[in-house]
Amino acid sequence: MRWLTLYLRSRRVPIALAAAAGCTAAMWSLWSVSSNAREVGVPMVILTVLLLVASVTATLAGPDEALDRTAALPWPPLRAAHLLAALAVVVVLLLATLITGARFGPAWLVIRDAVGLLGLTALGAVTIGASRSWFLPLGWTLASVVFTLSGTTTSAIITWQVQDPGNKPAAVTAALLGVGGLIAYAAAGPARRAPAEAAL
Amino acid sequence: MSRILRIELRRSAAIGAVLILVLAGAVLLYAAPKRWAPGWMSLAMIQREYLVLLWPLALAAGAWQARREHRSNVAELFASTARPRAQRMVPALGAMGVAAACAYLAVAAVAAPWIIDTARYLPATAFVVVAVGALAMVAAAWLGLAVGRLLPSLITAPALAVAGIGLLMVIPAATRSREWLALVFSPMYGMGQYTDYQTVYGRVSAAQAVWLVALAAAAAVLLASGDWRTRVAALLPAVLGAGLAIMIIPRNDEFVSNPVDPVAQEQVCADGSPRVCVSRVHSGLLPEAAPLARQALEMLAKLPNPPTTVHEDTTTFYPDTSPPRQADVVLMSISVDKDGHLARKAEILPRMLFNAGADMSGCDDSWNLAVSRAAGYWLMGREPGPDYFQASPEENAEAAKLWQGLRSLPEQEAAARVGAVRRAALACEKLDGLLTASAR
C-alpha cells in the first residue's frame, strides 16, 4: 500500500485525476448550460475524450525515468496496469455522465476513442516522451472533427475518431492503436530524457 | 537584441512549432487542391479557412512554450535577475510571433508553386488577406504564451487548443443573424469560396486586423504582468480593440456576405479574332479556352446572324447575378480543376451550343431539354448521345427524333429553325415545337 501511494505520488496521479474530473465537469456544465438536449453533441464528446486522455498523459512518465528503471520491479506488467487504469478512469468518468442530464455517449464511441487515443498517446510517450505525447492525438483528432471523411474504408481509417460507433474500420484502427500502444509502452516504457526536462 | 532573438528561436519551441504548423497546413491544402487552384485570391481565402486547425495549434504551441520556465524549475532563479519581467518576456514573444507568422507564410509558399503557371490575377487584397491570417497566428501564439504562463500545467496546451477550435466552431452559431460579428472575431469565418471571383472587403480586413492586434497586445500585457492589477489591465486593449473593430466593420445593411470582386470578373480577351474573352481571374486559362470557344463560334456560323464573340459566363449564385443576354455573345462557363487548368473540357462545347448558344439560366420554365439538346447536337454535327446532362434514354430518344427531323430538312431550313431556337432562348420564350414547325 505504501508503495502504491509513493508510486501514484511520483506519477502525479492525484493532479491528473483532478484535471480529468475538472475537464469532465467543465464540459458537462458547458453542455448543460448551452443546450436542452440530453445527448451531448458528438464533436463535444470526442473533444472531451481527447481532453481526458491528454490529462492522464502526465502520469505516463515519472520525474526520472532512468532512476525508475534501476528498481528491481517487474516494470512491463506495472506499466500495462497503469495504462489500463488510465483507460478505466477516462471511460468511467464519461460513462458516469450517462445517468445524468447531459449524456456523453454513445458508450461504444467513448470506449473506442479512449482506447485509440490512449494507445496513440502511449506510442508517443515511447517515442517522443510523455510530455510531448499529446501532440499527435490532439492534431489528428482536431483535424478529424473539422474535416470528417466518410464513405470509404480509407476515409474511415483516416478519421476514425469521428465515425459512427458501429463503423468496423474505425474500430479496428482504434483497437490496433490501443493494443500497439499498450504493448510498446509495457515493453519499452516512456522515452528517457534528462531529469530536468522530464520534470512535469 | 537580434542575437538574443536568434538564440531564443533556436532554443525555444519555435522551430518545432513551425515544422508542425507547416506540415498541418500543407496536408490540409493539398488534401483538396481543387478548392484553391482557381487563383491567388482563392488560395489566400482557403488558407484562412484552414485557420480552423492552425489557429488552435498555434495556441497550443504558445502554451507549450510558456511551460519552459516551469518545466526547468528556473522560475525563481529568473525572478531574481535584475531585469523587469516585461523585458524578459520579449524574446519569447518575438520568437513565437516570428514562428507563427513564418509558419503561416510558409504554408502559402508551399502551395504557390502548384498554381504559379495558371494563376494570373494577383490583387493587393490577396496580400492583405494573407497578412491578416499571419496576424491571427501571431495573436494565437501570444495568447497561448500568456495563458500557458498563468496555468503552467501539461494539460493547458491541449485544453487551450480544444477551447480554440470550440470557439471557432461556436462563433458563427452564437452570432447567428449578425454575420458581421462572426467576421470580426473569427479569422476563418466567411472564407469559403462560392465563386472564383470572391473577395474580402478592405474594411472587413481592417476590422479583423484591429481586433487581432488588440488581442495580441492584450496577450503581451498578460504575459508581462506580475500582479493581478496588470492582468486585469490586459482587458483594456482587448475591449478597446473589439469596440473599434465593431465600429469599422460594415454592419447590418452595409454588410455583404460573400462579396464579389468586379475587377476579377472583367473580361480579358485573347489576341486574334473572333474575340474570345474570359474573366480576369481565369485569364491564365485563355490559351486553353480560346480554341474551344472558336470551335463553337465556327459551328454557330451556320445560323442566320451568328454570334461573333465569346465571353465567360460570370454567373454567381450568392449573390445571384448573371451577365446580360446579348445576341452577338455566346457565354462559356469555366471551371478550374485541381491542377489549376480548365476542368471538364469535353463538357464545354455542348454547354455552349445547347439552346443554340443562348444562356437560359435566368429563364424559369421556358426551357425544353429535347429542343435544346437537338439544336446543340445539330450544330455539333453529331447524334445526341450521353453528355453532362445525363438525360434518360427516353429523353435522349426524343432529342434524337428532333435531330433526325432537322437532318432530313434542307440545310438552310434547318439553320433557320435552330436560329429561331436561339432567338427564342435569348428572349426567354418557349422553345416547344420550334424545331418541328416551320420557322418563318
pLDDT of residue A117: 97
Residues 6+ away with beta carbon under 8 Å from B410: none
Number of continuous H segments (helices) and E segments (strands) in chain B? 19, 4
Q: B273: pLDDT confidence band, cut at 50, 70 and 90? A: confident
Q: Which of B140, B115, B102 is nearest to B22 (CA)?
A: B102
The interface predicted TM-score of the complex, written ipTM, equals 0.93
Residues B287-313, mean pLDDT to the nearest whole number: 90
Is some CB atom of chain B closer than 8 A to the CB atom of A51? yes
Residue type, B207: A
Within 13 Å of residue A130, how many CA atoms lie on the same side as its CB? Answer: 29
Inter-chain residue contact A47 with B72, CB threshold 8 Å = no
Q: What is the mean pLDDT of chain B?
A: 89
Is the bond preceding residue B259 a cis peptide, omega within 30 degrees?
Answer: no
In angstroms, the CA B269 to CA A116 distance is: 56
The residue whose grid cell reads 489576341 is: B271
Contacts of A44 in chain B (CB under 8 A): 166
Which of A172-181, B175-184, B287-296: highest mean pLDDT?
A172-181
Q: B437: pLDDT confidence band, cut at 50, 70 and 90? A: low
3-state secondary structure (DSSP) of residue B330: strand
Q: Which of B32, B28, B37, B49 is nearest to B107 (CA)?
A: B28
Higher pLDDT, B240 or B1: B240
Number of residues in chain A? 200
In angstroms, the CA B63 to CA B17 distance is: 11
Inter-chain residue contact A54 with B158, CB threshold 8 Å = yes
pLDDT beyond 70 at A197: no
Is some CB atom of chain A closer than 8 A to the CB atom of B287? no
Q: How is residue B7 written as a grid cell?
A: 538564440
Which residue is closest to A44 within chain B, CA to CA?
B166
pLDDT of residue B438: 54
Order of strands, sheet of B309-312, starting from the edge strand that comes earlier in the sequence: B267-269, B275-279, B309-312, B329-332
Within 13 Å of residue B28, how many CA atoms lie on the same side as its CB? Answer: 27
- Provide the shortest C-alpha distance from residue A62 to chain B (in Å): 13
Inter-chain residue contact A142 with B154, CB threshold 8 Å = no
Is the bond preceding residue B319 a cis peptide, omega within 30 degrees?
Answer: yes
What is the enclosing helix (H) or strand (E) of B310?
strand B309-312
Is some CB atom of chain B closer than 8 A to the CB atom of A131? yes
In angstroms, the CA A114 to CA A92 distance is: 11
Per-residue pLDDT tens for A121-135? Answer: 999 999 998 889 999
All structural domains of chain B with their residue ranges: 2-262, 267-426
3-state secondary structure (DSSP) of residue B332: strand
Task: Yes or no: say if B79 and B164 are a contact pair by the CB < 8 Å rule.
Answer: no
If contacts are CB pairs under 8 Å, which of residues 45-64 in chain B contact chain A?
Answer: 52-53, 56-57, 60
Phi (first) and psi of residue B105, to 5 degrees: -65, -35
3-state secondary structure (DSSP) of residue B168: helix
Which residue among B53, B72, B157 places its CB closest to the CB of A196?
A: B72
In angstroms, the CA B439 to CA B423 distance is: 11
| DSSP secondary structure letter of residue A103 | B
Per-residue pLDDT tens for A9-54? Answer: 999 999 999 999 999 999 999 999 988 888 999 999 999 999 999 9
Q: How is residue B376 written as a grid cell?
A: 446543340
pLDDT beyond 90 at B99: yes
pLDDT of residue B427: 83
Which residue among B57, B71, B155 places its CB closest to the CB of A139?
A: B57
Q: A81: pLDDT confidence band, cut at 50, 70 and 90? A: very high
Contacts of B71 in chain A (CB under 8 A): 131, 197, 199-200
Q: How is residue B183 written as a grid cell?
A: 467576421
Q: A200: pLDDT confidence band, cut at 50, 70 and 90? A: very low
Cβ neighbour number for residue A73 with a 10 Å cutoff = 12
pLDDT beyond 80 at A196: no
In angstroms, the CA B352 to CA A63 distance is: 72
* Rg from Cα positions in chain B: 29
User: Percent of chain B beyond pLDDT 70?
Assistant: 99
pLDDT beyond 90 at B46: yes
Residues paired with residue B332 on neighbouring β-strands, in sequence order: B312
Which of B79-93, B158-172, B327-341, B389-403: highest mean pLDDT?
B158-172
pLDDT beyond 50 at B410: yes
In angstroms, the CA B238 to CA B229 distance is: 15
The residue whose grid cell reads 475538472 is: A22
DSSP for B222-243 reads HHH--SHHHHHHTHHHHHHHHH
pLDDT of residue B439: 43
Q: Which of A42-46, A161-165, B131-135, B173-177 has the lowest mean pLDDT?
A: B173-177
In angstroms, the CA B152 to CA B66 distance is: 7
Which residue among B24, B154, B162 places its CB closest to the CB of A50?
A: B162
Is the bond preceding residue B172 a cis peptide, omega within 30 degrees?
Answer: no
Q: Which of B239, B144, B167, B63 is nearest to A30 (CA)?
A: B167
What is the enclosing helix (H) or strand (E) of B278?
strand B275-279
Is some CB atom of chain B closer than 8 A to the CB atom of A57? yes
Cα separations in angstroms, B213 against B90, B117, B217: 16, 35, 6
Per-residue pLDDT tens for B385-394? Answer: 887 777 788 8
Which of B100-104, B259-263, B267-271: highest mean pLDDT?
B100-104
Q: Which of A46, A60, A58 is nearest to A20 (CA)?
A: A58
Per-residue pLDDT tens for B170-189? Answer: 998 888 888 899 999 999 99
Q: A199: pLDDT confidence band, cut at 50, 70 and 90? A: very low
Within 13 Å of residue A107, how many CA atoms lie on the same side as its CB? Answer: 8
pLDDT of residue A33: 92
Q: What is the mean pLDDT of chain A?
A: 91
What ranges in B225-358 are assigned the alpha helix state H? 228-233, 235-248, 262-265, 286-300, 345-353
Phi (first) and psi of residue B398, to 5 degrees: -60, -45
Task: Yes or no: say if B70 and B138 are a contact pair by the CB < 8 Å rule.
Answer: no
Triad B151, B153, B155: Cα angle to 5°: 110
pLDDT of residue B440: 44
Inter-chain residue contact A142 with B161, CB threshold 8 Å = yes
pLDDT beyond 60 at A194: no
pLDDT of residue A198: 46
